[in-house]
């Protein structure tokens, strides 16, 4: 594998809207040279590290990544294969001998017993002291639901921005006309399949292992049959994963990682295929990808492989099948009037205060543009906000969220139809996916409270959306190879959701997301082909055409202490029917 250059690393980072200083780029180049990694590989490593540790891209953090990789590589090289280990009498290393001055705590650690925890009064780190001081009642501000901010503090960086209103992404034939278009100002039909509605908060963490296993096996069976039906002349009968065969056979299963109990970082040397219990009796097999020219894989993906298994222990595929037939289209196409949408995703206040200035600016934009439908995607009260845990609200987080929702409803009543989509990042909520809708004390005929994820029918247009950052999670785990040169990675990641029929096909899930797979099978699968797929993400904003579908990432309304973006969409009636892309236009605009 060729090593990267500074320019290639910058280009790969720009795909994910990440800026890096020269010293950080130099360190990333150093990792590339040391471990023989190309630009995409080193950026993937950084995204995985960032997702795990929640840190920003700078020199110090890249050095920590380098140290982590060096330690893992050294540990891997020093491991002795189990077949070469000599069995003999057990003995303690001299460094663990109490007679050599080993303390009691160290002796306990040598046998795997944790050291006794010291009291906080004995050990006080500067960080813990600072955090404790920040949480003392004398330093905690009070918060009233009737006010936006616990103080008069305003975000200086947000208030001094000069790029408000700039269009960062344009798409479609009428992208220039979106800013001047005004909604129809009549009632808009918004509905959802009653069978797929989460009508109340369900009980989670009550999954039995047997039930979970049945769900996983059912997904393997359904998706593998869909893949087979899409290639009827190429794919034959499925064989068990562990079957010994010198001739090419077809096997199917879920992609896993063979490191760290299936939860390690996937690479082309650690791919494992977990077969279903109906064909493979739940057995798995290691996969050698050296003979495959093109693939795009991630943990949890259901695939069909064509290849041989000479020893029964390692399958050597020559081709990977992942594409499924197109799902049935939505009920009715847009007929007469154009449909305008405005989509904004939280957080709705900057990270240095709770003034909600960006939300107020968004409300002014909605009043001015009067779109037919405004989609507000959480979080409303972000649990990652620095002040959420240090402000004394005096009310519950649920009341704070309800207050913000009611303010939006009252401010925009008569200007637009509203759709609210919750987020598992909302403070005080049930941090589980899928998630039940928000609850508000101000119901209105023009307000619709949706769940996460959901597929909405808006005037005959099927709009599928989720507040979960599935694209960021996938990009940190996916591995790919292409014989035709660079490909559109973001479009490929979005296409995975449609091919796997799922809003969250990654398994195991990201450590920041708790997925109830029983509920996800019922509420998180795509039953129909969407016209519009809305996937808010921390990645760079985009509008991309997929197969008979348009995927939109509106970005976040705020990014740290600065303003972010929102999306404006205009869907015009199609003359001859067919692909919605023909009448679809969009802009991503800075708040």
Helices (H) and strands (E) in the chain, counts: 13, 22
22: number of Cβ within 10 Å: 9
pLDDT tens, position by position, 184-219: 667 789 999 888 888 777 788 787 888 888 999 999
Question: Cα(1)–Cα(33) distance, rounded to whole angstroms?
Answer: 10
Runs of H (alpha helix) within 114-165: 126-134, 156-159
pLDDT band at 119 (very low <50, low <70, confident <90, very high): very low
Residue 500: CB partners within 8 Å, gap ≥ 6?
223, 301, 302, 324
pTM beyond 0.95, yes or no: no
pLDDT tens, position by position, 446-476: 899 999 999 999 988 999 999 999 999 999 8
Distances (CA, A) of 420 to 225, 292, 448: 36, 44, 6
DSSP string, 53-117: H----SHHHHHHHHHHHHHHHHHHHHPPPGGGPPP------GGG-GGGT--HHHHHHHTTPPPPP
CATH 3.60.21.60 domain position(s) in the chain: 167-204+336-590
Question: Cα(245)–Cα(340) distance, rounded to whole angstroms?
Answer: 57
pLDDT tens, position by position, 401-451: 988 999 999 999 889 999 999 999 999 887 889 999 987 656 677 899 999
Distances (CA, A) of 512 to 267, 398, 424, 472, 503: 21, 21, 9, 12, 16
On the question of pLDDT at 500 being above 90, the answer is yes
Radius of gyration of the chain (CA): 26
Helix axes 22-35, 6-15, angle to 10 degrees: 110
Residue 485: CB partners within 8 Å, gap ≥ 6?
none
Pair 256, 274: CB distance under 8 Å: yes
- Residue 221 has a pLDDT of 94
pLDDT tens, position by position, 145-161: 445 554 446 778 888 88
Q: Which of 172-186, 243-257, 354-368, 395-409 has the lowest mean pLDDT?
A: 172-186
- Residue 70 has a pLDDT of 77
- Residue 13 has a pLDDT of 84
430-455 burial code (b ≥16 CB/10 A, e <16): ebbbbbbbbebeeeeebbbbbbbbbb
Pair 454, 465: CB distance under 8 Å: yes
Residue 362's H or E segment, with its range, is helix 357-369
- Residue 74 has a pLDDT of 65
CATH 2.40.50.140 domain position(s) in the chain: 232-321
Residue range 88-104: mean pLDDT, rounded: 39
Residue of higher predicted confidence among 50 and 190: 190
Sole residue written with tokens 């968004």: 362
pLDDT band at 12 (very low <50, low <70, confident <90, very high): confident
Give 162: exposed, middle or buried? Use CB within 10 Å, 0-12, 13-18, 19+.
exposed
Residue of higher predicted confidence among 295 and 19: 295
- Residue 441 has a pLDDT of 58
Strands of 444-546, DSSP E: 447-449, 454-458, 461-465, 479-481, 532-534, 542-546
Question: Cα(490)–Cα(337) distance, rounded to whole angstroms?
Answer: 32
Q: In DSSP terms, which residues pair with 542 in a beta bridge?
A: 553
- Residue 287 has a pLDDT of 95
- Residue 456 has a pLDDT of 95
Question: Cα(515)–Cα(511) distance, rounded to whole angstroms?
Answer: 10
- Residue 490 has a pLDDT of 92
On the question of pLDDT at 279 being above 50, the answer is yes
Cα four-point dihedral sign 427, 430, 434, 438: negative
Residue 234: CB partners within 8 Å, gap ≥ 6?
306, 321
State phi, psi for 422 to the nearest 5 degrees: -80, 175
HSE, side-chain direction, 13 A CA sphere, residue 523: 27
- Residue 367 has a pLDDT of 94
On the question of pLDDT at 525 being above 60, the answer is yes
Residue range 229-244: mean pLDDT, rounded: 93
Residue range 222-235: mean pLDDT, rounded: 94
Give 222: exposed, middle or buried? Use CB within 10 Å, 0-12, 13-18, 19+.
middle
Distances (CA, A) of 547 to 324, 463, 531, 578, 579: 12, 15, 9, 11, 8
Question: Which class in CATH covers the domain with range 232-321?
Answer: mainly beta
Q: Which of 71-80, 110-119, 310-319, 350-359 has the lowest mean pLDDT?
A: 110-119
- Residue 143 has a pLDDT of 52
pLDDT band at 135 (very low <50, low <70, confident <90, very high): very low
pLDDT tens, position by position, 53-87: 778 888 888 888 888 877 777 666 555 444 344 33
- Residue 323 has a pLDDT of 93
- Residue 56 has a pLDDT of 82
Residue 82, both tokens: 């189990």
Residue 79, both tokens: 């491991």
Residue 107, both tokens: 């002796």
38: number of Cβ within 10 Å: 17
pLDDT tens, position by position, 339-387: 999 999 999 999 888 889 999 999 999 999 999 999 999 999 998 887 8
Domain 167-204+336-590 grouped into CATH 3.40.50.150: no
The length of the chain, given as a count of residues: 591
On the question of pLDDT at 557 being above 50, the answer is yes
**In which region does residue 468 sit, left (phi positive, over 0), alpha (psi from -120 to 50) or beta (all else)?**
beta
């Amino acid at each position: 594998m060729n090593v990267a250059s500074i320019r290639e690393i910058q280009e790969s980072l720009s795909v994910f809207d990440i800026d890096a200083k020269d010293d950080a780029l130099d360190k990333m180049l150093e990792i590339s040279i040391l471990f023989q990694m190309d630009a995409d590989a080193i950026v993937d490593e950084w995204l995985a590290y960032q997702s795990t540790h929640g840190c920003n891209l700078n020199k110090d953090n890249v050095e920590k990544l380098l140290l982590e990789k060096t330690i893992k590589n050294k540990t891997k090289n020093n491991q002795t294969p189990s077949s070469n280990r000599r069995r003999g009498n057990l003995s303690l290393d001299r460094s663990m001998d109490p007679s050599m001055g080993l303390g009691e705590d160290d002796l306990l650690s040598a046998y795997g017993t944790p050291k006794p925890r010291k009291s906080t009064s004995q050990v006080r780190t500067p960080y813990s002291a600072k955090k404790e001081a920040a949480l003392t009642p004398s330093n905690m501000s009070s918060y009233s639901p009737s006010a936006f901010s616990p103080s008069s503090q305003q975000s200086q960086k947000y208030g001094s921005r000069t790029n408000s209103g700039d269009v960062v992404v344009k798409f479609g034939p009428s992208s220039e006309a979106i800013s001047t278009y005004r909604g129809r100002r009549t009632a808009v039909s918004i509905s959802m399949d009653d069978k797929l509605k989460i009508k109340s908060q369900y009980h989670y963490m009550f999954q039995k292992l047997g039930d979970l296993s049945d769900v996983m096996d059912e997904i393997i069976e359904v998706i593998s049959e869909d893949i087979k039906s899409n290639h009827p002349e190429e794919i034959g009968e499925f064989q068990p994963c562990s079957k010994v065969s010198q001739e090419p056979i077809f096997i199917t299963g879920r992609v896993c990682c063979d490191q760290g109990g299936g939860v390690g970082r996937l690479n082309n040397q650690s791919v494992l295929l977990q077969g279903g219990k109906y064909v493979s009796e739940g057995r798995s097999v290691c996969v050698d990808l050296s003979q495959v020219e093109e693939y795009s894989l991630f943990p949890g993906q259901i695939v069909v492989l064509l290849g041989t298994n000479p020893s029964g222990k390692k399958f050597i595929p020559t081709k990977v099948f992942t594409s499924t037939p197109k799902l049935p289209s939505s009920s009715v196409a847009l007929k007469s009037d154009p449909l305008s949408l405005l989509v904004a995703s939280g957080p709705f206040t900057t990270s240095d205060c709770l003034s909600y200035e960006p939300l107020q600016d968004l409300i002014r934009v909605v009043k001015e543009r009067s779109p037919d439908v405004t989609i507000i995607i959480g979080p409303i009260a972000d649990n990652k906000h620095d002040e959420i845990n240090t402000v004394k609200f005096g009310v519950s987080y649920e009341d704070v969220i309800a207050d913000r929702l009611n303010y939006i409803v009252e401010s925009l009543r008569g200007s637009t139809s509203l759709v609210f989509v919750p987020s598992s990042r909302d403070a005080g909520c049930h941090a589980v996916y899928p998630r039940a809708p928000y609850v508000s004390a101000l119901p209105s005929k023009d307000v619709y409270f949706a769940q996460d994820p959901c597929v909405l029918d808006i005037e005959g247009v099927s709009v599928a959306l989720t507040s979960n950052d599935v694209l960021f999670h996938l990009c940190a785990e996916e591995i790919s190879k292409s014989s035709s040169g660079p490909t559109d990675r973001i479009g490929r990641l979005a296409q995975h959701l449609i091919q796997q029929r799922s809003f969250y096909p990654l398994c195991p899930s990201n450590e920041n997301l708790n997925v109830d797979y029983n509920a996800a099978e019922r509420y998180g699968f795509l039953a129909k082909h969407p016209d519009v797929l809305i996937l808010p993400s921390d990645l760079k904003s985009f509008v991309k055409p997929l197969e008979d579908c348009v995927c939109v990432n509106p970005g976040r309304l705020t990014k740290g202490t600065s303003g972010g973006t929102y999306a404006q969409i205009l869907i015009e009636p199609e003359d001859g029917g067919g692909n919605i892309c023909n009448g679809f236009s969009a802009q991503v605009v800075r708040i």
